Amino acid sequence: MIVRRATTAGITTKIGNHSFRGKGITAYLRNGGPIERAAAMANDAAL
């Protein structure tokens, strides 16, 4: 669904679910969100 919507919107860059995940987490951190919460949102046990 993501690829179909991106194609319809004229986006030619390869895109998928992880693109949104990464951008969302980055935006959260840039807006002052704590790293611990970002890791929990990303379901990342690396921290």
Q: Where are the domains of the chain?
A: 21-47
Q: pTM of the prediction?
A: 0.61
Query: Cβ contacts of residue 28 below 8 Å, gap of 6+?
Result: 37, 38, 41
How many C-beta neighbours within 10 Å does residue 12 have? 8
pLDDT in tens, the chain (47 residues): 888 988 999 989 888 888 888 888 999 999 999 999 998 888 865 55
pLDDT for the residue 47: 52
Q: What is the DSSP-derived secondary structure letter of residue 13? A: S
